């Protein structure tokens, strides 16, 4: 999906919501366990009842891997099912990244075998760990910049001392700012986005100074405590530029027979709030 198509979907659906498919066998309604693939059945029903309210889905690979090859099959079936919906952007939340020949294999897994639109990638190993994903036409890297968890302050917000050339002025930047600056040379606004956590909404202003035009994937709304209005205030740009994720608040709104209907209610609350915020801009 191109950036323009994504923006058109946001305008049409009046939503920049991404629903996180963190599907956990221990949390899904009991009655689904009678299906041959309870994980896929859960995802299918969530997708069927919410796809008009969101622009993206984001399965987190950890939840699928935790139950082994059967979980990987559920992930494949989910990716395949999502392809039915032409106006949906699909994100493999995999946080991969390795030396070049290995990242190529991950790209094959998520773009070749499974045909996701995007994958989240960790920046620690630098350029050659990221560029293999950018070789795929029409696919996206969503690079971790400033994450939503407590541990983000261990390294991501640590100041670096950067000296540009001999006798050059000393400059200071936080690690996540340097990740944003450096990685802009690896791709473009048409194939790269960044993860910026909603739990640090005020820092979105700093992020926007460096990447005014890139789309940002914003996790941390809801269960993790992030605030949507703050995210929009500091992070929205003229083409929206935001995909805001919510997982647990939506998909686990109920653990009964009515789980899909309740998920729709929660997703609609988010969509309505997003509609207002988009109009106010």
**CA distance linking residue 219 with residue 247, whole number of Å:** 9
- Could you say whether residue 178 binds a copy of itself (CB under 8 A)? yes
Q: Based on CB atoms, which residue is closest to a copy of itself, 50 or 148? A: 148
What whole-number distance in Å separates Cα of residue 250 and Cα of residue 248? 5
Select which of 44, 95, 233, 269 is catalytic: 95
Question: CA 280, CA 271: separation in Å to the nearest integer?
Answer: 14
d(C-alpha 49, C-alpha 52), whole Å: 8
Work out whether 159 is an interface residue with a copy of itself (CB under 8 A).
Answer: yes
95 catalytic residue (yes or no): yes
**Strand 170-174 versus strand 159-163 pairing type:** antiparallel
Alpha carbon distance 63, 21 (integer Å): 9
Among the listed residues 14, 44, 95, 269, the single contact to a copy of itself using CB under 8 A: 95
Burial state string for 230-249 with b = 16 or more CB within 10 A and e = fewer than 16: bbbebbbeebbbbbbbbbeb
Q: Least Å distance between CB 67 and a copy of itself?
A: 7
Closest separation in Å from C-beta 224 to a copy of itself: 8
The footprint of a copy of itself on residues 65-94 (CB under 8 A) is 65-70, 72-73, 76, 93
Work out whether 103 is an interface residue with a copy of itself (CB under 8 A): yes
> Which window, 42-50, 107-115, 225-233, 252-260, contacts a copy of itself (CB under 8 A)?
107-115
Question: Which of residues 179, 180, 198, 251 is near a copy of itself by CB under 8 A?
Answer: 179
Give me the half-sphere count of Cα atoms (radius 13 Å) on the Cβ side of residue 158. 7
Tell whether residue 165 is a contact of a copy of itself (CB under 8 A): no
63 binds a copy of itself (CB under 8 A): yes
Alpha helices, H only, 83-126: 100-107
Residue 91 structure tokens: 């994100």
Residue 91: alpha-carbon gap to chain centroid:
6
Residue whose C-alpha is closest to residue 255's, from 264, 247, 263, 243: 263
- Residue closer to a copy of itself (CB basis): 13 or 187: 187
- Taking CB under 8 A as the binding criterion, the range among 30-38, 44-52, 101-109, 270-278 that sits at the site for a copy of itself is 101-109
Nearest distance from C-beta of residue 227 to a copy of itself, angstroms: 18
Task: Please name the residue that has the structure tokens 């994720």.
Answer: 245
Q: How far apart are CA 240 and CA 184, in angstroms?
A: 19
Q: What is the nearest approach in angstroms of a copy of itself to the Cβ of residue 21?
A: 12
Nearer to a copy of itself, 86 or 150 (CB): 150
- Footprint of a copy of itself (CB under 8 A): 22, 24, 60, 62-63, 65-70, 72-73, 76, 93, 95-100, 102-103, 105-106, 108-110, 112-114, 122-130, 144, 147-156, 158-162, 172, 175, 178-179, 182, 224
Catalytically annotated residues = 95
């Amino acid at each position: 999906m191109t950036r323009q198509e994504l923006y058109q979907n946001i305008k049409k659906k009046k939503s920049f919501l991404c629903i996180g498919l963190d599907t956990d066998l221990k949390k899904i309604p009991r009655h689904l366990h009678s299906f041959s693939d309870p994980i896929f059945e859960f995802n299918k029903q969530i997708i069927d009842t919410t796809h008009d309210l969101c622009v993206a889905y984001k399965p987190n690979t950890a939840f699928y891997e935790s139950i082994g090859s059967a979980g990987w099959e559920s992930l494949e079936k989910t990716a395949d099912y999502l392809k039915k919906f032409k106006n949906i952007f699909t994100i493999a939340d995999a946080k991969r990244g390795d030396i070049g020949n290995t990242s190529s294999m991950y790209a094959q897994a998520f773009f070749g075998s499974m045909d996701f639109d995007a994958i989240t990638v960790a920046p620690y190993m630098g350029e050659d760990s990221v560029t293999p994903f950018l070789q795929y036409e029409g696919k996206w890297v969503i690079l971790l910049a400033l994450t939503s968890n407590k541990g983000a302050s261990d390294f991501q917000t640590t100041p670096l001392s950067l000296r540009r050339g001999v006798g050059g002025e000393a400059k200071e930047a936080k690690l996540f700012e340097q990740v944003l600056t450096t990685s802009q040379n690896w791709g473009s606004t048409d194939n790269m986005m960044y993860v910026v956590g909603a739990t640090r909404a005020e820092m979105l202003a700093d992020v926007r100074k460096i990447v005014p035009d890139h789309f940002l994937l914003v996790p941390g709304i809801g269960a993790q405590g992030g605030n949507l209005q703050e995210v929009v205030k500091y992070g929205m740009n003229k083409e929206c530029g935001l995909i805001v994720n919510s997982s647990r608040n939506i998909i686990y709104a109920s653990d009964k027979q009515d789980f899909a209907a309740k998920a729709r209610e929660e997703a609609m609350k988010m969509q309505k709030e997003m509609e207002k915020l988009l109009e106010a801009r």
